[in-house]
Chain A
Amino acid sequence: MANKLISQMGLPPSLSHVFSARNILTAKDALSLPETDLMTLLDIDIALVRSAVASISEATCPPFQTGLALLEEKMKSGGHLSTLLPGLDNALCGGIPFGALTELVGPSGIGKTQFCLKLALLAALPECYGGLNGRVIYIDTESKFSSRRMIEIGEGSFPQIFRLQGLAQKMAERIIVTRPTSISEFNDSLQQMKLTLLQNEVKLLIVDSIAALVCWDNEKGTISSRQSPLRGSLSFLKSIAEFSQVPVVVTNQVRSHSSDDTFHYIFKGHRKDTSNSERSESHLTAALGIQWAHAVTIRLIFEAHSGHRFIKVAKSPISPPVAFPFVVESSGITLLNQEGISVAGSEINAIRCKGCNILTQ
């Protein structure tokens, strides 16, 4: 919509001629400038500028829907990819939502890729078995995708299905794995995907992991420290999700949480809270910073403490803050407790990694 051409907006011909003469061709060019700048640039008076901007805005503005229409649309299209983990599905009102960005974050080795493999399988399964009957695009930046492990998960979770002749091969053929080696390659494949997502019946997009792309660029030293290199890809990823209504699952890494990271608001003053600093030493924090944390719609934190592993629903517009203990078995991830443990307060955002390291036991 931003790149809509002014010449196609039905403005009076003399006016659109003036715009194109000054090289203002798209809505983006026209609306990025304040009205007085446009007036000076185009050499027309302010009333004409105002009416032109109003017409361009009306043409560029997306149509509105009522909340009721949105809900009915969601009901019709299902709206969720069930994870087959009843507790998690309940908490997320059905499963991983379509059209939104879901993030899985946790320390290495905790089970994020296992979760992704199972999701890929679930999306590829035919609808009669609870799947989405579609293709899956798996963007694998750390070379962690293992088809053998995925088939093993399949055989463990749906033994009767996978013994059928050729079904395993059919499922595996629906999962497309790509391994970009830089952010620009990643962006290129995203661009190409936008066109083909609907045509090729892709029902799930997984990026495992997105933090690795940023790390590579950091090493090359090509970016300034304050601005994230993922800026363009982030909004593009979100718009792909919205546009094609597929679930997008992204994996993120963790980094250690130094005391400098406990930021406070200015109005809170400089309080030296000793209890906080004790906790923060054992905390990890999600990589990619606070801007990324704002951008994802749902954040599932995978953590380990007291000898168990937990999946926590940390950020979600439709779920209460709960944690589910889980284990990783041959059939993938299984929840040990379907009701979930309610987590109060800001604990829900903490990531811990104690008690699952063999060297410390």
Chain B
Amino acid sequence: MEISNLPISPSIRSKLLSKGYTSLSSLSSISPSFLAQELSVKLEEAVEVLRAVSDTTTSKSAHTPNGIIPGAVTAWDMLSEEQMQRHISTGCEDLDAILGGGIHCKEVTEVGGVPGIGKTQLGIQLAVNVQIPVEYGGLGGKAVYIDTEGSFMAERAYQIAEGCIYDILDKFPSNSREFLSCKERLQVNNFLAGIFYFRICSYTEQIAVINYLENFLTEHGDVKLVIIDSVTFHFRQDFDDLAQRTRVLGGLSLRLMKLSKMFNLAVVLLNQVTTKFTDGSFQLTLALGDSWSHSCTNRIILHWNGNERCAYIEKSPSVPSASAPYLVTGKGIRGINSNFKRARIM
């Protein structure tokens, strides 16, 4: 890295260059007081400059299993880790199956669809399902629900939590001692208390909350899911400069990806649709543009297939593209083949 790429303020950089320090090696054996005198800056500022230089040149003393690149892990370690990873069930067995178990942690998944197809329903279902205790096959974690449109209805979350608990107790009727303690935790109010809800009214607040999440997640270490419903709304309303919008969105997606890896949680972004002119006609596509479509690890599109609701995996690094039908019932998202007596469409 050259001096021009160091993360220091422009005026100090120009002073360094004007004094003839053009490469990092020229700064390697200089004391802070000498540098301060040379550049006529304060001692603290000189210390900062030298620290920035040393940060970029010395290797970090992190765990280096292969000794080649600090901070890297081998593919085998990643595989073992992935196999131990639990997934968040969506409520529909077919959809879980094509996703490879459910929504993955440490990844950013984008879900888009036309209005009324069930994006918010899926969001609320995931916020409930992430809280299923580990003994029953879930993650036992909490959820952060960032609502930009006001579509989260607490009464619906109550219905979905109730339906989820009912189905768990139905599936695991065991009364053994280890299950008894979990059963106490299976209360609808507990599930509702485990959803942290932020209501965002502008894109500034959206950027602020994503920046603030790092502190929040450090404090609340049991959060395993972050949902943003929807990530598009405010960015379509007031942003006039599209190039700036792309840059800001890029920054947001990088930050979300970093959060998901750092705290080992799943990030789910709900997106809207728009029309795009390709191949001579208008086609439906997810909003926010082509650059945004690269930012997410996985992409699921919810659409109507005749009279059925279907989920189509458009993009995923680990599972093939496939479609699965699902239902939105009174108890939440369920599969087509779930017991018809219970999966009654209202």
Contact = CB atoms under 8 A, between A and B. Distances in A.
Nearest to B142: A66
Interface in A1-60: 1-2, 27-28, 31-32, 34-35, 39-40, 42-47, 53-54, 56-58, 60
B282 interface: yes
B272 A62 contact: no
Contacts of A263: 275, 282-284
Nearest to A60: B208
A235 B237 contact: yes
Contact of B9 (A45, A100, A235, A317): A45
A267 B302 CA distance: 12
Contact of A43 (B9, B203, B306): B9
Interface residues of A, number: 74
A68 B116 CA distance: 25
B155 A315 contact: no
A67 B202 contact: no
Interface stretch (B23-31, B102-110, B145-153): B145-153
A60 B314 contact: no
B265 to A, nearest CB: 16
B194 interface: yes
B317 interface: no
A264 to B, nearest CB: 6
A348 interface: yes
A291 B236 contact: yes
A128 interface: no
Interface string B105-145: 00000000011100011000001000000000000000011
A297 B151 contact: yes
A262 to B, nearest CB: 10
Interface stretch (A168-176, A190-198, A236-244, A325-333): A236-244
A45 B7 contact: yes
Interface in B1-48: 7-12, 48
A21 to B, nearest CB: 14
A156 interface: no
A1 B206 CA distance: 11
A245 B120 CA distance: 21
B150 A241 contact: yes
A61 B205 contact: yes
A231 interface: yes
Contact of A317 (B7, B151, B203): B151
B200 interface: yes
Contact of B192 (A67, A295, A346): A67
B116 A299 contact: yes
19 contacts: A1-B201, A2-B204, A27-B204, A43-B9, A45-B7, A57-B211, A61-B205, A61-B212, A66-B197, A231-B237, A260-B282, A265-B285, A266-B284, A267-B301, A294-B273, A297-B151, A315-B116, A320-B330, A347-B307
Given A71-B157, A263-B284, 9 more contacts: A68-B193, A70-B152, A232-B238, A264-B284, A294-B273, A297-B149, A317-B153, A318-B159, A347-B307
Interface of A: 1-2, 27-28, 31-32, 34-35, 39-40, 42-47, 53-54, 56-58, 60-62, 64-68, 70-71, 73-74, 93, 97, 99-101, 231-232, 234-235, 238-239, 241-242, 260, 263-268, 290-291, 293-297, 299, 314-315, 317-318, 320, 322, 342, 344-349
